[in-house]
Amino acid sequence: MSLYVIGVVYLHEEFKNTDEILLQIKILSSRIYFDRIDEDDIDTICLEAQSAAPTFKGLKFIALRLSDSESDYSATSLWNDSRERPSGERINNQPSELEEIIHALTGCKYILGGAIGLFDGSIDSVFKGSAVNCSRYLSRLFSEQWDNMENPLIIWSKET
């Protein structure tokens, strides 16, 4: 099995130009892709996100996936690179590439909030919190093998 990382980001209402926002998000990392994402997975993630954060209902969103490469849907190498980093490197503000991507998405001025699923089959648990708390939660997950974790959906909102 492989680890898949897909999700949605909800846009602030005042930002109308989705193409401009797509470019800004793509600049964050070459590992972010906007195509070939299973619609059923996105529907499930949107339902969970909107249930946890009702303010997301009716907002424009962008579906995305984080992958090792454009042709590979898996993010297993991204996860393993994060997991294999000495913990001191994260403590000294040298995050892994996966952490940098998540931090950038949670901090992007165009994004009100979002939901990122890390799974190899289906989502088993939901963690909801502020952008900071969700980033911390993700960092704690790196102590686990991806195939032993609960397959979480991480939902953040800047209004939380």
Residue 66 resides in a domain: yes
CB atoms within 10 A of CB 155: 26
Residue 108 resides in a domain: yes
Average pLDDT of the chain is 88
Residue 43 resides in a domain: yes
In the beta sheet, which residues pair with residue 111? Answer: 11
Residue 68 resides in a domain: yes
Residue 4 resides in a domain: no
Residue 128 resides in a domain: no
d(C-alpha 57, C-alpha 77), whole Å: 33
The residue segments making up the domain with residue 55 are 12-122+134-146
Helix (H, G, I), strand (E, B) or coil at 81: helix
Residue 7 resides in a domain: no
Residue 93 or residue 145, greater confidence: 145
- Tally of structural domains, the chain: 1
66-96 pLDDT, tens digit per residue, is: 999 999 899 999 888 888 776 555 555 677 8
* Gyration radius from the chain CA atoms: 15
Which tokens go with 3? 């680890």
d(C-alpha 160, C-alpha 151), whole Å: 22
pLDDT value of residue 86: 61
d(C-alpha 103, C-alpha 138), whole Å: 10
State the pTM of this model. 0.89
Are the C-beta atoms of residues 75 and 33 closer than 8 Å to each other? no
Residue 151 resides in a domain: no
